[in-house]
Chain A
Amino acid sequence: MKINISRIIIFCFVIFCLFVFWLGLKKNINYDTESLIGSRISNFQLNEINHNNQSISEKDLKNNEFTLINFFASWCAPCRTEHKYLLKLSDKKIKILGVNFKDKKSNANKFLKELGNPYDFVAKDSEGKASVLFGIYGIPESILIDNNLTVIKKIIGPIDQSQYNEILNLIR
């Protein structure tokens, strides 16, 4: 193969494009949670799932040293797998706020009765609109915040053993 300047340019260009694709894969643009860490959660107000007169807002979370906001639904299969870690966390020095996402009240209650209730407060978001304000793509997702309402960690997908350990480290 003869080497000339235009061929070198073509090769360099192709290598550049493929390299950027590779970086793009590593970066995982869709599920970028790094940028959320350190940002403050937006203001919200949510009603309790069974009592419409009880509500919770960002002001209530300021009283907790750490809060884990967990988005779940009875129809979501992966939510079941992470549930045992939430139950374990409920004994720890952390408050857990459950946001019931696009769910039926009866199904959600059945779900919690069957698997146990790790939540200090279960809020309802039957249309899923409030969850969007938290930047939720799908469920399960969890956001760990401190008493300044600053995000310390965001978990996409079900919580597993390593993420559970990480949460324990962060709240120590």
Chain B
Amino acid sequence: MLSNIGIGLIVLVLILSFLTIYTASLDLKMPGQSIKKGIYKLSLFQTTFTVLSFFTLIIGFINSDFSLSNVYENSHTTKPLFYKIAGTWGNHEGSLLLWVNILVIFSYLFLVFNHTHNKKFRLYTLIFQNILILGFSFFLLLNSNPFNSIYPIPLEGLGLNPILQDPALAIHPPLLYVGFVGCSIYFSAAMASLISDYRGKLFAQSIKTWVKISWCFQTLGITVGSIWAYYELGWGGFWFWDPVENASLLPWFAITALMHSLIVLEKRNTLYSWVVILCLSTFILSVTGTFLVRSGILNSVHTFASDPSRGIYILLFLSLMIFSSLIIFFTKYKKETYNFNLKSRETFILANNWFMVFFLLTVLIGTLYPIFLDVITSVKISVGPPFFNIVIVPLVVPFVFLMAIVPKFSWIKLQNKIFYKILFLILCGVIINLFISHFFGKYSFLSNLIFIVAIFLILQSFLDIKKLINKKKKPELSRIISHLGFGLLVFFIGINHQFSLEEDFNLKVGEIKKTKNYEINFEGIKIRESKNYKAIVGNFKLINEKNDLVQYLNPEIRIYSNPETLTYEAAIKTKITSDLYLTMSNVSRSDYYNIKFQNKPFMIWIWISALMIVIGGFTQLTLKKNED
């Protein structure tokens, strides 16, 4: 029953897509500046039907309707309701349905909210977006149908992968999807702008809000993913330069560059071609990431059951997207003349872009090179943190430095009196850095530089906030919050990296281990039964030898029943100043447990700073109205 409803709705969406493309191309030839009412209606119906199809699937998951093979494969009657719902997008087919939903919703919203812009531009955007919708709906229907039914109907489902049963992970996919798939709308808009010759400032205004929305969601999604990895995977870190993390970072670099160069396009009406290139590549990189992750070329927690036919389809679609955008871009390309003052703000914003492109290329090469090498020569190598740290970290210094000073420059030319202020703040940075290294331990020259520029950026942002308080209009607020967040992020990652303590040892129940500042007492284990798993819970007493503070930590080894899987839950005690992190795993054929103990200073501040960057973005979205 649900199967038929779902498939019916998707077919309707497909038909409406064809109709929209058809009527929009007819309307292109009509005179006048307003779009026909019928097109709005088509788009509204299309949105309603896709959203309904998604709710149909959610209902299937809530009711554990195992006549849908997707529900059978990814759910189980004993799952808590929250994870039943999260199971809807915790698999390939369901997440693709979410993908189509976002394509359609963004298409409708763009049509409605951009009514002041050129008709031809809006119609072409609608057409391109609907071509994307068509492609992905066909893929959904023919290859990855979430509404496939099975008969006879099984009595029980196979269950959701236990490591996905985590609150952070339940919201991580929808956030990232809004971020990544949301890019599709300015991909379409960029193509439309080239064809309809709707260039420059006005184009920048039409896509500005959408770029900010998807930037906010991407940043938030990546942060939540990282929080999940820290709490759930039990590796004791928050970023691993894993190929899948890298795949999510690639579009993020592009979109961050885009967000900054859009400012230049809007204010100075220049850099149009570059903005279009970034619009196109952001979505292309999102799809490339999806291809790498879903086709099984990269192996990770994100590779659902691997199926080469899926990969071929996405690759075909990716090729079409790249070639059509290249051809349209080259045919419609017009030479621009750049007239920049070397010391002006736009030059430096462009510098931000060069850094972003550099980071993007580094991560792209680091991710693709091992794949290429393996495919061509069958040599397996792994490019990990050392490569990225060596290449990226040194460039963070000038990058953060520019982040602090560029907003101080006026649009056309630099004022000289700012120099003294900058010098003074850098001096403060040097002094605070000396203070840290004197009292807490020495570190490398590069780390010194990173701390200095990070402190400089933080101080600069605080001064800016102080100035803003007296002003009535606050257009700069969001930028300051995001930049302050980034400064804090760099600073706390630096502190965390320099002063983390890590110990790895084996311990039996009743034994005591002494580390630098802590005495770890393994007091016992007990078994705990839960709804969908059984857990071996360790009881550890930690005594801080400096201040005799006693704390208890309880890491777990969980045995999930459906499907049978072992997961290791870290015990984490979070405080404002540091995190205590303890995991245990069983050592086969012995009474010993392998214990990993870490003391990570200012861990929670890394999340707070990352969230601050996001809050900056959201502030801009809400402030926008007041500004206008």
Contact = CB atoms under 8 A, between A and B. Distances in A.
Partners in one complex: yes
A25 B311 contact: yes
B297 A25 contact: yes
B563 interface: yes
Interface in B290-347: 291, 295-297, 299, 303, 306, 308, 311-312, 315, 318-319, 322-323, 326-327, 330-331
A20 B624 CA distance: 45
B372 A75 contact: no
Interface in A113-147: 127, 129
Contacts of A30: 296, 299, 303, 306
A10 interface: yes
Contacts of B315: 18, 21-22, 25
A118 B148 CA distance: 34
Contacts, number: 66
Interface string B366-381: 0010011011100000
Contacts of B562: 75
B interface SS class: helix
Interface string A20-47: 1111111111110000000000000000
A88 interface: no
Contact of B297 (A21, A77, A103): A21
Given A25-B297, A25-B308, A28-B308, A18 B322 contact: yes
Contacts of B311: 25
Given A25-B312, A75-B563, A129-B588, A20 B375 contact: yes
Contact of A14 (B326, B368, B371, B564): B326
B158 A77 contact: yes
A73 B564 contact: yes
A51 interface: no
Contacts of B326: 10-11, 14
Contact of A24 (B306, B323, B330, B375): B375
A108 B158 CA distance: 18
A84 interface: no
Contacts of B291: 21
Q: How large is the interface on B (under 10, 10 to 19, 20 to 34, 35 or more residues)?
A: 20 to 34
Contacts of B368: 17
A7 interface: yes
Nearest to A7: B330
A156 B561 CA distance: 23
Contacts of A105: none
Contacts of A73: 564
A23 B311 CA distance: 11
A1 B374 contact: no
Contacts of B318: 18
A28 B246 CA distance: 21
11 contacts: A1-B330, A1-B331, A14-B322, A18-B315, A21-B297, A24-B297, A24-B375, A27-B375, A28-B308, A29-B371, A30-B303
A1 B291 CA distance: 29
A102 interface: yes
Interface of B: 158, 291, 295-297, 299, 303, 306, 308, 311-312, 315, 318-319, 322-323, 326-327, 330-331, 368, 371-372, 374-376, 561-564, 566, 586, 588
Nearest to B586: A127
Given A28-B296, A30-B306, A2 B564 contact: no
Nearest to B330: A1
A141 B311 CA distance: 23
A interface SS class: helix
Contacts of A29: 296-297, 299, 371, 374-375
Nearest to B295: A25
A10 B325 CA distance: 13
Nearest to A1: B331
A62 to B, nearest CB: 26
Contacts of A21: 291, 297, 315
Given A18-B318, A30-B303, A103-B564, 5 more contacts: A14-B322, A24-B371, A75-B563, A77-B158, A129-B588
A160 B336 CA distance: 62
Contacts of B297: 21, 24-25, 29
A24 B376 CA distance: 9
A159 B563 CA distance: 21
Interface string A48-86: 000000000000000000000000010101000000000
Nearest to B309: A25
A150 to B, nearest CB: 21
B563 to A, nearest CB: 6
Contacts of A129: 588
Contacts of B323: 14
A23 B297 CA distance: 10
A101 to B, nearest CB: 10
Given A14-B322, A30-B296, A30-B299, A20 B372 contact: yes
Nearest to B368: A17
B319 A18 contact: yes
Which 10 A-B pairs rank lowest in CB-CB distance, beginning with the nearest? A1-B331, A75-B564, A25-B311, A24-B375, A24-B297, A23-B375, A1-B330, A30-B299, A18-B319, A127-B588
Nearest to B308: A25
A102 B299 contact: no
Contacts of B308: 25-26, 28
Nearest to B72: A77
A6 B311 CA distance: 30
A26 B312 CA distance: 9
Nearest to B158: A77
Nearest to B154: A77
Contacts of B296: 28-30
A17 to B, nearest CB: 8
Contacts of A1: 327, 330-331
A53 to B, nearest CB: 16
Nearest to A130: B588
Contacts of B299: 29-30
A22 B586 CA distance: 41
B180 to A, nearest CB: 18
A1 B334 CA distance: 11
Nearest to B296: A30
Nearest to B73: A77
A92 B407 CA distance: 79
B306 A31 contact: yes
Contacts of B319: 18
A11 B319 CA distance: 11
B374 to A, nearest CB: 6
